[in-house]
Structure 1
Amino acid sequence: MTDPNQTSVEDTFVSHLIELRDRLVRASIGVALMCAALLLWPGPARIYDFLARPMMASLPNGAKMIATGVISPFLVPMKVTLLLAFILALPWVLYQVWAFIAPGLYAHEKKLVMPLVISSSLLFVAGVAFSYFLVFGRVFKFINEFAPTSITVAPDIENYLDFVMTMCLAFGMTFEVPVVVVVLVRMGLVTVDKLKAIRPYVIVGAFVIAAVVTPPDVVSQFSLAVPMCLLYEIGLLLAPIFARATRAPEEST
């Protein structure tokens, strides 16, 4: 004889899988539609030209980047277009994630998750924008000015894309420092006073991380380490406020 409880659990599990599949399909459709729109306008070539603008501004007049691969002139701009499509569709993707997990959360948990999702997305985009608009130009200018006059600087488009993606990811993750601090304090893993006490080690760690993930020049290292330290201080200020605002009813009594 079939156990009704077991059948109910199996039906619930299957319904969750179906819901997850539907959310993934909707998120994928959103990214695909955004990618199709970018292919129509402005197009992969213009998107890559925009990405390459900081490098091109630092090269001598008339110099251009090169493509050593046979299909690189097609493949690299397409990669950039797909990446940009995902970034632009990120709010829709995060909404699908939120719609999937929200029914299983308590009211105080919803107040905890949604601000973190929104703030982490905005901070990541802010980190990418910071690296593109404020860091790349100075880094490329420094590197090209350091190059001997006997060398013709002609970066490969694939290597340039790899470098830009690495730097954007590094800065995007760096700007998540306030979210990490807030989560650690809210979960009770560490106190604000303890985080303040280890501030000197955090500063040293920030410069070590910057030295590892950025090119070997002072400009890019300071451009990553200094914001990391400032964002750590912002996290220390926001953590107590966020912890009080998302406190569960039983924690308030």
Structure 2
Amino acid sequence: MAKLFGNLHLVLAIGLVAAIAVMLGFGAEVPLDVNSVFRWLHVFFGILWIGLLYYLNFVQVPTMPSIPAEQKGAITGHIAPKVFFFFRWAALLTVVTGLVIAYVTGYVHRALILQGLNQHENLIGLGMDLALIMSFNVWFIIWPAQKKILGIVEASPEEKAAAAPRALIASRTNLLLSLPMLYCMVSANLG
């Protein structure tokens, strides 16, 4: 058992097979189509993205000042780069799968410009707009700053120092926006 659960990729593969089995097993009662598959993927990537956003804001960033200097390299050299890999790709895949859902369902344009046929489309549109801002922050503010902070790209001490508050402000902005975004996404599907 330890060998199975010690292998992340194997656990994910088995989980994927189990999910496909559930989908096929309930296929007669629950539609198995592009919309349902992309909704499932959207929720998975969204949980990964927002979970890592909350990990960074509630755990890693507040804890870093109390970590002894000789131990910080373990975080900045090994853990943080892996976190930011999954963080940025989960952000992108959450947005892409959400846009596919909106496109397949036929409301992508109306929702994005908040001109929906009903308040549910406008609410999901607001959530989509907030998620687009958040994803932009991840890819174009947080990640470029983190590459400097973590030493992934060459940067002077001054550039690293300037990158830190920029990354923190964008990350805390995403934390702030995540709360109304999550409300929009959940509530838009209640009616």
- Structure with higher Rg: it is 1
Interval of TM-score (by shorter of Structure 1 and Structure 2): 0.3 to 0.5
TM-score by length of 1: 0.29
